[in-house]
């Protein structure tokens, strides 16, 4: 960034954005550089974020903001021979979303390199990093040498962004959280794309969730986000596609940190729920196609699961990131390694019929109450708690039949929590078709 940008007055920039004018590239660079250097106060940062939220962020501003955040830190550089194989995946987050845990080693087994920079999350459960930390010994904080060795030996890693990668994003996100500007489309785009470009990825597939338990409640809002994600990533030299997927029901069978890791291992062994299998197949096949794979990507994905090479890549990744060989071997063999909750309780269906829906929002809020997620940054989470859901949309259910198992850390569940969770199961007297989890794919 140009040093002269430090001389720009933040008050003038705030007034300009407050009044709905488009900020120039130099003005955005000035704001970001002053933020990272500590010249902007938290209240000034918050005021700018709120102005951006209210007035909106144009495509040009989003591109310049992303570029400025990217340039606030370092950018990972990988071997030239890996250039055409470097891929990444991102999800806007959902209830039971363990796709990164499954898809990353699958892509590595398909011959791609996956330098995944992931995060933690607020709300119902932890993020991908929290889930991985339920594996004894797994380290999410790794240095560049370890990352490179993991890409060489396993073909993938899943790690936290270090302090040198997009430091501006870390500052902005902390203020977004306390100023209720987390769901600003332009800020979401700049946060996602800056970290993905910094990871060194050349191809990116993004899973934008749509529905009751998603940031985007409508397809229209999801499309607007998708179009800006694709536009900005292209401006920064990354080819991308966006898959819109449903998030009205929890994804897969489990919701909870260790529980989702256990389901991911079963999925890599070939025991995958239909919705997870569909999403993994579509996301993975799109990335393979973008990198020039000439065959049927979905067939290749099925092959690397069936022959065990995807599971082997997962095992290698664990070892590269600190898990002892014996622990990694036991985990991929399905032996008990993960922490478990002290208590479990089954809830039973209160009527017979066909499942219309298992409300993902309610399930997510219950898991948050159990301790699986965070209400604010820095909260401690319980890696063992969560739910296993045995009935899904379109399934036949009989009154008195168990439909969910709750894993909890206290001897009994609060009555109000049980009542609330029972409301998640919606039953109809006539059979229902389960809609495709994939809504649309945007290029």
Q: Position of tokens 């209720």?
A: 180
The separation between CA 385 and the C-alpha centre of its own chain, rounded to angstroms, equals 19
Q: Are 247 and 213 in contact, with CB atoms under 8 Å apart?
A: yes
Of 120, 195, 209, 266, which residue is the catalytic one? 195
**170: annotated active-site residue:** no
> Catalytic: 169?
yes
Annotated catalytic residue 195 = yes
Residue 98 phi/psi, 5° resolution?
Answer: -110, 20
Task: Produce one character per residue of 240-256: b if its CB has 16 or more CB atoms within 10 Å, e if not.
Answer: bbbbbbbbbbbbbbbbb
Residues 387, 405 contacting (CB under 8 angstroms)? yes
Q: What's the half-sphere exposure (Cβ side, CA atoms, 13 Å) at 422? A: 18
Is 176 an active-site residue?
yes
**Out of 55, 85, 89, 90, which one is annotated catalytic?**
90
- Considering 68, 100, 190, 191, which one is annotated as catalytic? 191
Total number of residues shown for the chain? 443
180 phi, psi to nearest 5 deg: 60, 40
3-class state of residue 154 by DSSP: coil
Distance CA 189, CA 388 (A): 32
What is the C-alpha separation between 119 and 17, in angstroms, rounded? 30
Residue 184, Cβ neighbours under 10 Å: how many?
20
Report helix, strand or coil for 403: strand
176, 316, 391, 392: the catalytic one is 176
- Active-site option among 97, 169, 248, 382: 169
State how far the alpha carbon of 108 is from the alpha carbons of 111, 203, 293, 313, in Å.
5, 14, 14, 7
Query: Catalytic residue positions?
Result: 90, 169, 176, 191, 195
């Amino acid at each position: 960034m140009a040093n002269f940008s430090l001389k720009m007055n933040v008050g003038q920039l705030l007034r300009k954005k407050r009044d709905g004018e488009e900020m120039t590239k130099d003005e955005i660079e000035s704001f970001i550089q002053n933020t990272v250097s500590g010249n902007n106060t938290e209240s000034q940062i918050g005021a700018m974020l709120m102005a951006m939220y209210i007035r909106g962020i144009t495509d040009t501003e989003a591109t310049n903001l992303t570029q400025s955040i990217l340039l606030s830190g370092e950018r990972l550089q990988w071997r030239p021979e890996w250039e055409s194989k470097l891929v990444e995946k991102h999800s806007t987050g959902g209830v039971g979303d363990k796709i990164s845990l499954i898809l990353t080693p699958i892509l590595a087994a398909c011959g791609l390199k996956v330098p995944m920079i992931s995060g933690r999350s607020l709300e119902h459960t932890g993020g991908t990093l929290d889930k991985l930390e339920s594996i004894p010994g797994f380290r999410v904080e790794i240095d560049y040498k370890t990352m490179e060795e993991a890409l060489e030996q396993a073909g993938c890693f899943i790690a936290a962004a270090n302090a040198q990668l997009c430091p501006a994003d870390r500052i902005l996100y902390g203020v977004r959280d306390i100023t209720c500007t987390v769901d600003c489309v332009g800020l979401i785009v700049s946060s996602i794309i800056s970290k993905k470009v910094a990871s060194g990825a050349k191809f990116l597939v993004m899973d934008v969730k749509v529905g009751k338990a998603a940031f985007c409640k409508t397809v229209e809002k999801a499309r607007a986000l998708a179009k800006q994600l694709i536009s900005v990533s292209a401006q920064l030299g990354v080819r991308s596609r966006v898959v819109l997927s449903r998030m009205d029901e929890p994804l897969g069978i489990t919701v909870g940190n260790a529980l989702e890791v256990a389901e991911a291992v079963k999925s890599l062994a070939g025991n995958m729920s239909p919705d997870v299998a569909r999403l993994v197949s579509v996301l993975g096949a799109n990335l393979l196609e973008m990198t020039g794979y000439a065959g049927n990507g979905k067939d290749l994905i099925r092959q690397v699961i069936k022959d065990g090479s995807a599971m082997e890549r997962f095992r290698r990744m664990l070892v590269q990131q600190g898990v002892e060989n014996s622990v990694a071997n036991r985990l991929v063999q399905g032996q008990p390694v993960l922490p478990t909750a002290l208590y479990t309780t089954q809830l039973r269906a209160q009527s017979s019929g066909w499942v219309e829906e298992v409300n993902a929002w309610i399930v997510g809020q219950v898991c948050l109450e159990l301790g699986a997620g965070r209400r604010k940054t820095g909260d401690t989470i319980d890696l063992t708690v969560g739910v296993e859901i045995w009935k899904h949309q379109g399934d036949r259910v009989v009154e008195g039949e168990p439909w969910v198992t709750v894993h909890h850390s206290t001897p009994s569940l609060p009555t109000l929590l049980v009542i609330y969770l029972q409301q998640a199961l919606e039953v109809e007297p006539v059979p229902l078709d389960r809609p495709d989890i994939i809504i649309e794919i945007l290029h």
